[in-house]
Structure 1
């Protein structure tokens, strides 16, 4: 992901999430050296992912697939790429939060091997000013050692 791609990233972010990140949020991630990657179909943004690494773990912060590419397996492709990146950083686990109401994403994550491990109460803001719980999910990785 590059700064010159942020208009397309922000448009996708707004179409994919009930409350979206700001341009500054994405810029902070880029400036901090987080793993931020766009997948393109020619000039069209297919999807993106933002993740950060920590000690022996990674945290998937944001992932979105453009509506016209959804239900075609691209979520799995992006998750596989995150897994490979996390293993390369030495992570043994990947963590994420997902809106409790986002049943499609929860299904994709569970199918990919994530398990629900907790709830963060009132974690996500809603457009009406209320707050929604997040499901905390974890994927245990088995890095290949030489």
Structure 2
């Protein structure tokens, strides 16, 4: 398993993985813009998963975490989270936050196993093609102080 920081040329691969993983995927152009301004980690060769984070001061937010469904259940998401948490702590980030659809139980379970604690809800945040909109569960994880 190859894990590395994302590069400017990875936009199309990230869009492909995001499209496979989500109902409302982001575009190649979206990811190309994020790759120039935010922190991205990718895993697999070819890329099978990625984690996109925006860090501001001593706090960072997971903007999206995606693993191609064909590559899920291989520990890729956990590896991406571990690598990012270690690097972010070294950059002085003290808290990592995220939001996840409340009905995305595999993701909720992953974040809880990885030390994230719930701290709020955004009602009807995620648009659904059928049925009512879904709440976003907010999670936070304290990062160890860098030494």
Q: Check the 8 A contact 2:120/2:138 in 1, yes or no.
A: yes
Q: In structure 2, what is the equivalent of residue 141 of structure 1?
A: 143
What's the counterpart of residue 28 of structure 1? 33
CA distance in 2, matches of 1:144, 1:2: 25
Alignment of 1:31-42 (within 5 A): 31=36, 33-41=37-45
Distance 1:126 1:23, change over 3 A: farther
* 8 A Cα contact 2:42 2:80, kept in partner: no
Q: Report the equivalent of 1:16.
A: 21
Distance 1:139 1:126 in 2: 28
Evaluate the alpha carbon distance shift between residue 88 and residue 144 of structure 1 in structure 2; reply closer, same or farther with a 3 A threshold. Answer: closer
Is the CA contact 2:58–2:95 (under 8 Å) kept in the aligned structure 1?
Answer: yes
Residues 85-116 of structure 1: CA distance to partner in whole angstroms, max 9, x if unpaired? 21122111100000111000000000000011
The reply to whether residue 2 of structure 1 matches residue 7 of structure 2 is: yes
Structure 1 residue runs of 5 or longer lacking an equivalent are: none
TM (normalized to structure 2)?
A: 0.87
Q: Provide the C-alpha distance between the structure 2 equivalents of 1:19 and 1:77, rounded to a whole number of angstroms.
A: 25
Task: Kindly state the Cα deviation for residue 24 of structure 1 after the two structures are TM-superposed.
Answer: 2.9
Q: Which residue of 2 aligns with 1:114?
A: 116
- Runs (4 or more) in structure 1 with deviation over 3 Å come to none
- Residue correspondences, number: 142
TM-score by length of 1: 0.88
Deviations, residues 49-103 of structure 1 (Å, cap 9, x unaligned)? 1101112111111111122221121111011011012112211110000011100
- The unaligned stretches of length 5 or more in structure 2 are 1-5
